[in-house]
Structure 1
Amino acid sequence: MGTTFHGPSPWPHITRAIRTRGSRHAAIAHLGQDAPTLLPLRGGDVLVVNASRAAVRAHLTSPVALAYYRDAGVRVLSSPDLHANVIATERWAVIGSANASHSSTIAVEGVVITDDPDLVAAVRGFIDGIEEVTEVDQVFLDNAVAQWQIGRAVPVPGVSGRGQADPGFLPAQVTRMFLRHIIEFQPGPAEHHAWAAESRHRRAPAGPAVKYQLEWFHHDKSDSLLRRGDVLVFVTADHEWLYPPAVVDSEAVAIPRSPGAVGHLLRSRTDLDPIPVPVAEQILADAGHPGARLRVDHRIASPSLRVAVLGLWDL
């Protein structure tokens, strides 16, 4: 391969380059919620990130991503002064501007990927030589979750990118909507911290500017393949409550040590409440949809029914 430059959208090349055998060392300044889909690290790898109080409060580095990597066996370290974005595998070095975040995938970025052994060694030496680092352990994660809750997303030129201050909720056109029963399962550390930070089931105040929240949806790969922008509506197992819509906000992420299980990040509104299923059924019947099938998992194929379901919450 030699040495190549990739821009303005280098993440597919970065992800492909680091899917190699052997350990990977990465120094990535900021991690978005969906960093694991871009930066697929595994047990034994090393990740240095800027998870300072300021970065977490500004929603530039996500406790969800930190917990995910730690749960996967990655050694995660925080350096409050880190601004570099470099990666070293046993064969490749990646040097460039890209943070591991969705905003980076829509920004104009540039990276150099090289198999020059001197550069690979230099990048790994740089990462291993970063001083004043703090191990991201359970106590660190708990503190990061607290900082995230009281912070807010703010636009920072060159870091948070366009669209970060208010990422929006529903896509411009809802073409895929699914009804799913809420699945009860024992969450691992990644899911636990996602829920503790911003779960719809724990509506703790997160500051007056907070309008949206993120959480994990854990399911089996055999379930219908979801993609970013799909809308999910959940019903409780006892068919008592219908929860407000949530939007799939990431590609599928494999759950560590859970064969066949994947997770998606879901974006939902903090100001919408669940509706009793009988009430929702009556409203939909009055709107011309007596067979809405709110008690069965299925894809809501009817465009008019999708509109009526969203209308339950005036969306």
Structure 2
Amino acid sequence: MGTTFHGPSPWPPITRAVRTRGPRRAAIAHLGQDAPTLLPLRAGDVLVVNASRAAVRAHLTSPIALAYYLDAGVRVLSSPNLHANVIVTDRQAVIGSANASHSSTIADEAVVITDDPQVVAAVRAFIDGIEEITEVDQAFLDNATAQWQIGRAVPIPGVSGRGQVDPGFLPAKITRMFLRHIVEYEPSPTEHHTWTTQARHHRAPAGPAAKYQLEWFHHDKSDTRLKQGDVLVFVTADNEWIYPPAVVDSEAIAIPRTPGAIGHLLRSRTDLSPLPVPDAEQTLADLGHPNPRLRADHRIASASLRTALLQLWNL
């Protein structure tokens, strides 16, 4: 392979380089909530991250990502002085500017990927030699969750990237909307832990961030393949209530030790309330949609019906 340069969008080749046999070590300064999609580590790997109080309060390192890696069996360590972003496998090293976050995927980043044995050894020694290390365990996670609650997203040039000041809610253009009935299921211990950790720090009062909350949507790989930016509208199984729209806020995340199950993070507004289905049907009929099919799961292909559904909540 030799040495190759990748930029300004290096995450696809980084992810490919990481998908290899043998243990991996990574020192990544900051993790977004979708870091596991970009950086697919597994049991036995080592991840060093800056999960200091300042980084977590600024919403640069997500407790959701920390909990996910811990549940996957990754050894997670925190170093408050870490600013580097390097990864090493048995045969390759990745050196560059990219944090494992969505903002990094839309910023201009650059990395070098090499199989030079001396560089690979040097990167491994660098990661193993990082000082001021704290083991990330459940107590650490609980504290990080509390810090996230009282913090807020702070745009930092070169770290948080553009588009992070206000993530907004609905996409500028909605092309895919789905209606789904709520299905009761028993989450696995792994999923339940990640879900409850996420819920604690997003639902508590936290200034402007309290306007939004994140929820898990669990489904099987055989179901419709969702994409980031898709909009979901949920109806209760008894067709009694229809819930405000939620936006898919992550790519599919495989749930460890549950073959075939995946989850998505959904972003929703905390200030919007569900509506009775009969009332919604009447309002939609008044808006020119006498048969909105609220009692059946389907993709809402009609652009005008998508608009009318959003108008139920003045969106």
TM-score (norm 1): 0.95
- Give the match's secondary structure for 1:188: helix
2:183 is aligned with 1:193 = no
2:128 is aligned with 1:128 = yes
In the TM superposition, 1:102-117 aligns within 5 A as 102-117=102-117
Deviations 1:245-265 (A, max 9, x none): 111122111111110011112
Instruction: Give the structure 2 partner of residue 280 of structure 1.
Output: 280
Quote how far apart the aligned CAs of 1:287 are: 1.6
Instruction: Give the structure 2 partner of residue 182 of structure 1.
Output: 182
Quote how far apart the aligned CAs of 1:176 are: 0.7
- Give the match's secondary structure for 1:280: helix
Quote how far apart the aligned CAs of 1:129 are: 1.4
In the TM superposition, 1:1-315 aligns within 5 A as 1-184=1-184, 185-186=186-187, 187-198=191-202, 203-208=203-208, 210-315=210-315
Amino acid at match of 1:26: A
Partners of 2:3 and 2:303 in 1: CA distance = 50
Greater alpha carbon shift after TM alignment, 35-44 vs 147-156: 147-156
Instruction: Check conservation: 2:103, 2:164, Cα contact below 8 A.
Output: yes
Partners of 1:275 and 1:150 in 2: CA distance = 31
Instruction: Check conservation: 2:236, 2:242, Cα contact below 8 A.
Output: yes
Partners of 2:125 and 2:215 in 1: CA distance = 36
Amino acid at match of 2:269: R
- Give the match's secondary structure for 2:213: strand
Amino acid at match of 1:178: F
Greater alpha carbon shift after TM alignment, 72-81 vs 209-218: 209-218
Unmatched runs of 5 consecutive residues or more in structure 1: none
Unmatched runs of 5 consecutive residues or more in structure 2: none
- Give the match's secondary structure for 1:291: coil
- Give the match's secondary structure for 1:213: strand
Quote how far apart the aligned CAs of 1:175 are: 1.2
- Give the match's secondary structure for 2:48: strand
Quote how far apart the aligned CAs of 1:240 are: 2.5
Instruction: Check conservation: 2:213, 2:269, Cα contact below 8 A.
Output: yes
Deviations 1:100-125 (A, max 9, x none): 00111111111111101111111111
Partners of 1:148 and 1:277 in 2: CA distance = 36
Partners of 2:114 and 2:292 in 1: CA distance = 55
Partners of 2:140 and 2:125 in 1: CA distance = 26
Partners of 1:216 and 1:150 in 2: CA distance = 22
Deviations 1:8-59 (A, max 9, x none): 1111111111110000000000001111111010111110111111111111
Partners of 1:291 and 1:143 in 2: CA distance = 50
Percent of matched pairs sharing the same residue: 80
The number of residues matched between the two structures is 311
TM-score (norm 2): 0.95
Partners of 2:8 and 2:213 in 1: CA distance = 30
